[in-house]
Amino acid sequence: MTKHAVISARIDADLLAKLDRIAAFNERSRAWVIGRLLDSAATKELEFVDFIQVGLDDIAAGRVVPHEEVVAEIEARIAGRKAA
């Protein structure tokens, strides 16, 4: 059985109205709507965190290209296209 936690948050009247509208449309409770929205937001945020962590791990492992090298490559490509 899943354990649930009760949390509280201060929200403005506009957000409360939005939540109530979603709840009414889905014929669900406000708590159900908030739970679903929080789950969705947390999942998306963790995907972003994981994406950033890959980059941080690359930096820590030295898998990087110096800025000057990137700029030089871009400038060479631009020059090559202008010459064509």
Tokens of 61: 């492992």
- Model pLDDT for residues 14-54, shown as the tens digit of each residue: 999 999 999 999 999 999 999 999 999 999 999 999 999 99
- Residue 1's pLDDT band, with cuts at 50, 70 and 90, is low
- Model pLDDT for residues 49-61, shown as the tens digit of each residue: 999 999 999 999 9
User: Which pLDDT does position 2 carry in this prediction?
Assistant: 81
75 pLDDT above the threshold of 80: yes
Q: How far apart are CA 14 and CA 20, in angstroms?
A: 10
Tokens of 42: 């947390």
Residues in the chain: 84
> Please, are residues 78 and 84 in contact by the beta-carbon 8 Å criterion?
no
Tokens of 26: 């889905």
pTM for the predicted model, two decimal places = 0.73
